Structures are given as C-alpha cells and as structure tokens.
C-alpha cells in the first residue's frame, strides 16, 4: 500500500511551506529543493519503521510506516527537527539533545570540545555542567601553576561552536551550567551581562534545596572546591540570590535549574546524578546521554468544543512507538552516546498548540480553568505514554538499566523507556504544524510576516479571523492596527469576551505563566521549557517572586525575559532623543577584514568587509566584468553602506533595507538564492557579522535571516516568519 494513499496531502500553511523548503526538504547540489513535504514525511516514516525488523523479522514494515506517515501528515505529531531533516538520509543523526561530561582535567575538557564539534556537525545541541572544574586561581599540581577556572574554558567551547555550522541547516547551541556552591558562581552569574560574550550559550545556575532554604531563612551557605571537596568560603545566600535576580532582570540570563528537584525524578539514580540539561533546559540528561523528542498538536484533538481523549490516546500510543523506534535507527555521533542512550531509552513526548486548544474551548489562558485543563491533558498523556511504553516492553524488553531504576517494583514489571514525557520549545515545528508554540500563549493576534522578496504579508490568528468575520467587525485596517499594537486589549470595538480569550504573552501576568508551567511539570517526567515574559516595567522584586513561585510549585527550572531588556544592553541606554544629524566617524588609516566572492546574475562580485576598533566600518565591492552603470551602482551602494556603518547605524537596520532586492537574473550560491548585487552585498555582510552579530540581532527582536520580529520561547529565540532558531 503506497503511503500517499493513506491520507490526503498535509494541510500546510504558506508559512509552513516556506520553512520546510528553506530548512528541511532535500536539496540538490545547486541548492534546488528536490523533495515535497509528502516525500519528506514518507522518507521519515519509512526510515523509522525500519526498526521493526530488529524485533520481528516478519513485521509488516509497510503497515507501520503507513501509521507513522499518517500521524505526521495529519500534523498530529511532529518529531524534533533532526529527525525530519536526517531520517532516511546519509547523516542519519536524529536526536536534538545531548549532554557531555566535563571533568577537572585538560584532557577531559578538550575531549568534550572535540565531541561537541562532532555533535554540532550532526545537528544536535549540547549541555554541560562545568561544576567539576576547579575554580579560578586554584592550584594545578602538575605544573605548579594556577587554574583559569570554568568560565575561561567556556570561552573555548563558545569559539569552537561558532566555527562549526550544523550541516548548514542548524547552528550550534549550548547550555552551560554551574552549581551555586561552586567558588566561581558569582562570576558565572554575571558572565553574560556583556551581550558580546558567550553568544552560543544559554547559561543556568544549578540551585540546590540547601541554598534555597538558606536564602529564605536569611542565612549563609558554603562554597565548595570541587577538587578537594573542602569549604572555600561562606556567602550570604540572600545576596547571591539577588545577584541572580538582578542579572536576569537586566538581560534574561542566567536561568535557574532546581537541581535537587531534577534528581528527585531521576529514573536511574544508580547510574549517576543528573548535572546538566540540553540547551533549552527541558531535557535533564546523564553524561553522554541523548534524547529524541516529538510534540503532539493538541488542536487536532478538539472536536465540537471538547477534547477527544480517545483520539489523543491513539496519538500518544503511536507516538511512543515512533519515538522508541527512533532510538534504534538513529546514527549516533559517538559510541559512548549510543551506549548510554540505548541503556536508558529516554524519549520525550510533549505538546504544542496548547494556547490554540484553550481558545477553541473558550478558556482564557490566564484562568483557573486553563490550569485545570493543563493538568488534565498532561496527566492523561503521562499515564497513556507510560502504558504504551509498558506494552512495548512486553514485546521488546525493558530498557537495560531498568534493574535499580525507579520502575523496578512489583507493580511496574515492564517499562521500555526511562522517561516518556518532555515539554520542549517547538519553534519551527509548530510553524510546520500551523499552531501555537509549545505551552506558550499566542505570540500575536495579528502580525506582519516577511516573505522572501522583502514584502510583508498580514497574518491573522485563524480563530480570531473567523470569529471577527462572524461578528462583523473584521477589516484589514483593524488587523493592521492590532499588528502595530501587538495586542487587542486597548482597541475599541472588540468585545470584552474576545479580549479575555485572545491574550498574548505580554498580556498575561508572570504568575499565570509560571502556574501553567507548574501544572504541566506536575505530570512531566523530564522538564518543561517555557519563557516567562515580563513587561519592560517589571521590577527586580517581580523577578524574585517569580523564581520563588516556580521553586515552590515544583518547576525544574525557569527562564525569564523582560521585554526590551536586551535592546537597551546592546544600544547602551544613555542616548540623546532624536538627534537632528549624525556625523560619521572618520575612516582610520588601517582597517582589517575579509573579501568574499559572491555569485550574481551579472557575474562574480567580490565584496570586501572591513572593521576598525569600533566595529564594522565599511563595505565595498568590485565586479571584474561589469562596467559603466553596474559598477557605479555597486560603488554607490558600498559607499552608502559604509557611511551608515560609520554613522552608528546598526547592521541589521541596513540589512532590512537591502536584503531581498531583486533583479531580473537571480542565481544560486551554496543552497541560497542571490537575488541581485545589492542582495549579495547584504548576504556577505550578514555572514561576516554572524560571529558577533547573529546573537545581537536576534536578542534585539529582529531575525538575522529575514528581519522579522522574533519571539523568546523556552530559553530560545524563534522567528515564526522564516523558521530561524538560535537554538536550532
């Protein structure tokens, strides 16, 4: 039976097709897309179904592949990005999440860096705990010198990550964690106050129950040297906690993970203690462990204003089967990772579209009914995923580390997977599914989406469009006004019941964000990835109370973002209002940079990009074959870009103006279309700026790929216009 006959073509939105073509579908050597979405799902389904033969040589692989294909093409489940990109292809690496050990030796540190490069090249993200590394200025007995400390070694990881591009489709992403009782904890807390540093890291402080108790009681706690286990000094827990609060208030980092809460739910404590998580914090893992994730689209189980739990059960069972198969067909980047992953067989089944589900049910996100629905949905998924895992174990066997695990009890004789549930950020895969991200509120009721030719399309939430048309107040002008304001709360002519229902992330008070996170965490094996959005006016006390609420609700970690906080960090707050004129800084005698060759419809364009001590200062280009008008236009474009750069104009603002300008003869270069000479100069500038600029652009709210507004989700940054994700 042909898979295409099982279901109709997936109901993909225009935006989903853009993202799939740009980031997921196979391309030939000329960068041309040579795969349809149906063929992609066919490729993935067939590859993942291949695991059946491992357990039953007589298995009907086509029947299993058909079920997996239907699950994906109906957009009921979307697996994590590496599975969509790599299943059935030469690379074959299907996991998104990895944790590597970092021990207290040069050999271990640089072995971890080598392994990091291999994982990033294969499309994965990595997490590390640097808590075992001896503190700065500690003794190094072998050389009679002193240690540079964990933060200095993080810099080496950061540079290595910047060098590795993840197969051209995903950039490297890291999580760096340090225990609160490490002697370098204070320096770690403020390590990302400068937005120029650690651009490829999210950082989180691993907080213990002992520290939280000392903080709430106004006491002190011990800093312990990991090399000796001895006390280095004692500090006020309250003062250190306030440093965390202040740094997070300033620019959203560090996050917090509650280490003891994580290890209380460690399913295999006899194997080791969990020290770290993946880059977005939702997947605590042992050293050398990986996990593959998938998210159920909750909008697909709403029927006639109710949740169809029978349908949800069917989706959960097929999804657990799918994710367990992924473990077997996966090609692991390291033998140690394959061994540990197959010993525990962790999977992470999560959800997306929760906000859209609430709207369909008529439930406001910031309400007790939403809390109740979150617990009802997730407790059901947790129960059924474990039942599905137990059923698989009866056929295929328990996970090898089952003896000694939390499941090793008479009432749970079978369990295939050490964990079954995770709430991950769903950035690009929720765009594919055409639904809201993870368990986040909707990002906007209406927004302007950038398209490839530089135009903007008005996007309206489909349910809001439908209801507003039914009630007779829909208009393009109103939708544009909503897009400009970002909310409907202060717009006249919209009823209070709609304002109550269509709340966006910034309309909702932080405590509701955290209570929703806590409700899902209550029934999730691993952790819950969510960003707690604060208005710009939020105080440090607001952030402090959020951390305490998350701790007492049993959350395993927290990521906060105060709207506009990183913008000010980058722009340097003290700027005079509306200066009438700006004089460019003079060009220095000496600059340094690179020349990049770009293909254009007019010939090969050589773009030179230079910087001085203050940053990028000039761009100019030459084309050997061209003359007259073409050369003069290229020279004029370069001069104006250079003038703008030396006048303090942000590079991303320049890119917004010149990227996407089209001429009659576009060409392909390295899988990307170059639309014109101006577009080529923009692409060269963008690539040159990536090392210290991609992070800055995204943090400031503009996508470095297309210039559209980005959203902060689950400790990551996602563009719903083109699918860009800083965390992959």
- Taking residue 146's Cβ as centre, other Cβ atoms within 10 Å add up to 13
Cα separation, 91 vs 37, whole angstroms: 19
Going by C-beta distance under 8 Å and a sequence separation of 6 or more, which residues neighbour residue 323?
79, 292, 293, 294, 347, 348, 349, 417
Catalytic residue among 15, 80, 200, 278: 278
Cα separation, 1 vs 598, whole angstroms: 47
For residue 244, the number of C-alpha atoms closer than 13 Å in the C-beta half-sphere is 31
3-state secondary structure 97-142: EEECCCCCCHHHHHHHHHHHHHHHHCCCEEEEECCCCCCCCCEECC
Q: Which of 375, 424, 413, 585 is nearest to 77 (CA)?
A: 424
Active-site residue flag, 38 = no
Cβ atoms of 687 and 705 within 8 Å: the answer is no
3-state secondary structure 365-392: CCCHHHHHHHHHHHHHHHHHHHHHHHHH
Place of tokens 């030796």: 105
Cβ atoms of 358 and 495 within 8 Å: the answer is no
Helices marked H in 536-627: 540-552, 565-571
Cβ atoms of 596 and 568 within 8 Å: the answer is no
- For the purposes of burial, counting CB atoms within 10 Å of the CB of 394, is it exposed (0-12), middle (13-18) or buried (19 or more)? exposed
Q: Which of 167, 169, 723 is nearest to 452 (CA)?
A: 723
Which residues, listed in sequence order, are joined to residue 616 by a DSSP beta bridge? 611
Cα separation, 696 vs 689, whole angstroms: 10
Handedness of CA 564, 212, 266, 514 (dihedral sign): negative
Cα separation, 431 vs 443, whole angstroms: 12
- For the purposes of burial, counting CB atoms within 10 Å of the CB of 658, is it exposed (0-12), middle (13-18) or buried (19 or more)? buried
Cβ atoms of 152 and 138 within 8 Å: the answer is no
Catalytic residue among 76, 275, 282, 713: 282
Show the tokens assigned to 77: 């489940």
Backbone φ and ψ for 503, nearest 5 degrees, come out as -95, 140
| Cis ω for the linkage preceding 327 (within 30 of 0) | no
Q: Which of 550, 478, 553, 493 is nearest to 522 (CA)?
A: 553
Catalytic residue among 38, 97, 280, 716: 280
| 251-290 CB burial, b ≥16 within 10 A, e <16 | bbbbbbbbbebbbebbbbeebeebbbbbbbbbbbbbbbbb
Q: Which of 253, 257, 285 is nearest to 272 (CA)?
A: 285
Cα separation, 688 vs 694, whole angstroms: 10
Q: Which of 446, 444, 443 is nearest to 479 (CA)?
A: 446
Q: How far is CA 189 from the centre of its chain?
A: 21
Active-site residue flag, 52 = no
- Taking residue 48's Cβ as centre, other Cβ atoms within 10 Å add up to 28
Cα separation, 555 vs 257, whole angstroms: 9
Show the tokens assigned to 212: 């939280």
**3-state class (DSSP) for residue 597:** strand
Active-site residue flag, 280 = yes
Cβ atoms of 237 and 219 within 8 Å: the answer is yes
Q: How many residues does the chain have?
A: 728
Where in the sequence numbering do the catalytic residues fall? 278, 280, 282
């Amino acid at each position: 039976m042909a898979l295409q006959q099982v279901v109709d073509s997936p109901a993909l939105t225009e935006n989903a097709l853009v993202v799939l073509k740009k980031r997921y579908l196979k391309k030939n050597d000329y960068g041309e897309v040579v795969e349809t979405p149906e063929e992609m799902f066919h490729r993935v389904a067939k590859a993942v179904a291949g695991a059946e033969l491992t357990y039953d040589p007589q298995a009907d692989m086509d029947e299993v592949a058909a079920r997996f294909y239907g699950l994906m093409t109906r957009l009921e489940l979307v697996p994590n990005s590496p599975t969509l990109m790599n299943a059935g292809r030469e690379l074959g690496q299907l996991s998104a999440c990895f944790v590597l050990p970092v021990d207290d030796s040069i050999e271990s540190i640089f072995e971890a860096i080598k392994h990091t490069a291999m994982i990033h090249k294969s499309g994965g993200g990595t997490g590390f705990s640097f808590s075992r590394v001896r503190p700065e200025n500690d003794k190094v007995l072998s050389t009679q010198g002193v240690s540079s400390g964990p933060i200095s070694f993080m810099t080496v990881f950061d540079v290595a990550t910047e060098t590795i591009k993840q197969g051209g489709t995903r950039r490297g992403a890291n999580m760096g964690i340090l225990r609160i009782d490490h002697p370098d904890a204070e320096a770690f807390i403020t390590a990302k106050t400068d937005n120029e540093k650690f651009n490829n890291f999210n950082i989180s402080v691993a907080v213990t129950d002992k520290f939280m108790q000392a903080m709430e009681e106004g006491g002190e706690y011990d800093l312990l040297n990991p090399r000796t286990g001895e006390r280095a000094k004692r500090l006020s827990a309250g003062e250190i906690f306030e440093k965390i609060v202040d740094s997070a208030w300033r620019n959203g980092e560090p996050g917090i993970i509650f280490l003891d809460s994580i290890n209380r739910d460690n399913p295999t404590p006899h194997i080791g203690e969990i020290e770290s998580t993946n880059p977005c914090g939702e997947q605590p893992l042992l050293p050398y462990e990986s996990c593959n994730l998938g998210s159920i689209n909750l909008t697909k189980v709403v029927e006639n204003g109710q949740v169809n739990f029978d349908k949800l059960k069917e989706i959960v069972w097929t999804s657990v089967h799918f994710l367990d198969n992924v473990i077997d067909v996966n090609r692991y980047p390291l033998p140690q990772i394959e061994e540990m992953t197959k010993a525990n067989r962790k999977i992470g089944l999560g959800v997306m579209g929760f906000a859209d589900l609430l709207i369909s049910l008529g439930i406001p996100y910031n309400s007790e009914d939403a809390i109740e629905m979150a617990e009802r949905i997730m407790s059901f998924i947790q129960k059924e995923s474990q039942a599905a895992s137990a059923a698989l174990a009866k056929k295929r066997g328990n996970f090898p580390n089952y003896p000694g695990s939390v499941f090793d009890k008479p009432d749970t004789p079978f369990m295939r997977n050490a964990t079954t549930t995770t709430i991950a950020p769903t950035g690009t895969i929720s765009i594919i599914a055409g639904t809201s991200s993870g368990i986040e509120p909707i990002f906007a009721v209406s927004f302007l989406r950038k398209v490839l030719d530089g135009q903007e399309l008005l996007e309206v939430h489909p349910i809001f469009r439908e209801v507003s048309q039914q009630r007779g107040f829909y208009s393009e002008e109103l939708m544009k006004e909503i897009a400009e304001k970002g909310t409907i709360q202060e717009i006249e002519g919209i009823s209070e019941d709609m304002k109550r229902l269509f709340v966006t992330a910034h309309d909702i008070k932080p405590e509701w964000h955290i209570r929703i996170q806590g409700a899902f965490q209550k029934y999730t094996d691993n952790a819950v990835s969510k960003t707690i959005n604060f208005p710009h006016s939020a105080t440090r006390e607001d952030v402090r109370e959020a951390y305490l609420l998350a701790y007492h609700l049993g959350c395993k970690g927290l990521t906060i973002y105060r709207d506009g906080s990183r913008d000010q960090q980058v722009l340097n707050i003290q700027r005079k209002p509306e200066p009438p004129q700006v004089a460019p800084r003079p060009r220095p005698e000496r600059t340094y940079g690179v020349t990049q060759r770009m293909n254009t419809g007019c010939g090969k364009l050589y773009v030179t990009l230079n910087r001085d001590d203050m940053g990028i200062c000039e761009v100019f280009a030459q084309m050997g074959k061209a003359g007259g008008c073409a050369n003069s236009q290229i020279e004029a474009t370069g001069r104006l870009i250079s003038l703008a750069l030396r006048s303090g104009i942000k590079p991303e603002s320049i890119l917004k103006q010149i990227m996407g300008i089209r001429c009659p003869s576009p060409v392909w270069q390295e899988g990307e279309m170059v639309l014109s000479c101006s577009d080529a100069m923009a692409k060269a500038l963008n690539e040159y700026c990536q090392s210290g600029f991609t992070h800055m652009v995204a943090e400031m709210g503009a996508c470095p790929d297309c210039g559209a507004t980005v959203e902060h989700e689950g400790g990551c940054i996602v563009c719903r216009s083109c699918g860009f994700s800083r965390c992959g």
